[in-house]
Every structure is written in structure tokens, then in C-alpha cells.
Copies of this chain bind each other. A is one copy, B any other.
Amino acid sequence: MNEYVYGIDIGGTNIKLGLFTLPGMKMIDVKEVETPRQNQETSIFEKIGSIILEMNQVNGIEFKQVKGVGAAVPCPVKNGHVDKCPNLKWNKLDIIFAFNKVLPDHVRVAVSNDATLAAYGENQILEKPYKNAVFYTLGTGVGGGIIINGEILEGATGLGGEIGHMRVFDGATETCGCGSQGCLEQICGTSGILNYTKELSLSSTSSIDFKNLSVKSVFDAAKAGDKVGLQVINRVAEYIAISASIIAVILDPDVFIIGGGISKAGSFLVDLISQHYQKHARFSSYKVPFLLASTGNDAGIIGAAYLIRKQI
């Protein structure tokens, strides 16, 4: 009897489900649905339950063949408990209990933070996963995930790997979404990038199309040699490098891996980060390499599937 696990990435907009074989972890089906808006403490899990049933049928699988479900959630989570999830209307919710209500008893459930699981997934698909790795997920916000001794670092309250909120600069004039100032995300998140682009364009000419301004257009302009674009991306790369130099004297990881939407800029960005890192790294930590993530949008479901595979 073939056995399977599901990896599920629960986002504020969409829920993505992947069906994986055991033990080979081949993804044989994937489905994406809209996140229900009402009664999210129950509706999200009911919807996932019904989609799993549907995917089981489409793939000719009986529920007894499904050994577990791994879930990635967009907020800090500790031992399956979420205190508060800003992107979903969840308050003091026991995610494992919520899943148990819509799944047969034999199905094991594991849950962790989405950026952390993206990191874990990214690492697990490597031929030889790193023992100690730090992952950046660069998108609207700046997230992260940390693997120590092959294990996800969740931290005392589930905040482990929230590297977007490292204080990396003095004299901030604006406040970050987290309520503090000087956060990495204020420079390297989407708003930081677009605002700095607009600011520089007041005093410099630029080929960037400001009517359709996006992070991608800034990167494209930078790659084409546009002065404003280059200055913006250079600042992003330098602050990622500064934050990495700090992480290196704390954790001294084997590798930094850059993922998330912005990482689509590819080796152009990673090369720039590496150059700045050489300047800022302390002691022997200049040797720590930077790699580009390769799982793309599936990192969350892959990580979630690997998490539950490990626990069953």
C-alpha cells in the first residue's frame, strides 16, 4: 500500500496543498484555492479537509494511505499554538486541534511558520542538506528561517528566524510595521525599495517607469545599468550583507540561502550581496557562502511535507 503526506501552505490570500509520496517525497499533485474570509478559525480547516478529500479521490488514494499533514502558517507558532495571526483572524488557536477536527484520527499533524518551513524545504531538497543554515525570504516583507543541527529553530515564543526585524540602522525617521525602528525590512521589503526609488528619482533622472513602479521594474532597470535602480538595489544588497555579518558572529552558519519573490532577480542580487558581505564579515565568517533558493513558490508546501515526514 502506497503511503502519502500532504504539505499545506496557508496564506492570507491562498491556500496551497501538495500531495507527496512516502518515503520518496515526489510531489504528485498540487492545488491552490482561495483562503476563506469568514470564520477563519474553523472555515480554513474545513476547506482544507474537503480539498484533501477531493485530491485523494482524483489520485485514487484512500484516507488510510495518508499518514500525515504538515502545515505552514503566516505567523509565529510555538508547539502548534498561534497566539495571534495578523494575516488571518486567528487568536489563541491550537492549529493541531483545529486540523484534528476535520481529519481522521490516524492522520498526524505538524505545523510551523511559513518562512521557516520554506527554509526547511529549501534545505531538505538539497542532495546533502546543510546542518546549519540561514534562509532569507525577500518579498513584501523580509522573513527568515534558521536550521541548527538539522532542526528548525522555533525559539521560545516562535519568533526564531524573524530576521526582517533585526535592527540594522540608526536614525530611522519612519516606524516599521512591527512598531519598532531601524528594521532590515524597512530597507529591504517592498515598501522600503519603492519609497527609496521615488526619493532618489527626485534628484536623478532614471529610465524606471514610475507609472508602473514595482520591485521588478527597479531590478530590471538596475540590471540594465540605470543609476537610480543600481543605487536602490545596492542598498538592499548591502543591508542584507550587514544583517548576515551580524548573524554570522551569533550563529556561524554553514550557508546563507536567499529566497522569496525578490530573489527572482537571481544571481545579480546574490552576487551583489556576496560582494558587500566580504566587506562586513568578521573573522573567518567571510567564508560563509550565499546561495540562491531553488524551490520558488513551492518551498512552503515542500517544507511542510518534510516536517510531517520527519515526525511520523
Contacts and interface: CB of A to CB of B under 8 A. Distances in A.
A156 B149 CA distance: 10
B83 A159 contact: no
Interface in A66-80: 76
A247 B250 contact: yes
Contacts of A169: 170
Contacts of A43: none
A201 to B, nearest CB: 25
Contacts of A155: 132, 251-253
B149 A151 contact: yes
A166 interface: yes
Most buried by B among A245, A250, A254: A250
B249 A162 contact: yes
A191 B44 CA distance: 57
Contacts of A229: none
A280 B165 CA distance: 11
A312 interface: no
User: What 4 pairs across the A-B complex have the smallest Cβ distances?
Assistant: A155-B252, A159-B252, A162-B249, A160-B252
Interface of A: 76, 83, 132, 146, 148-149, 151, 153-171, 178-180, 183, 242, 245-254, 280, 282-285, 287-288
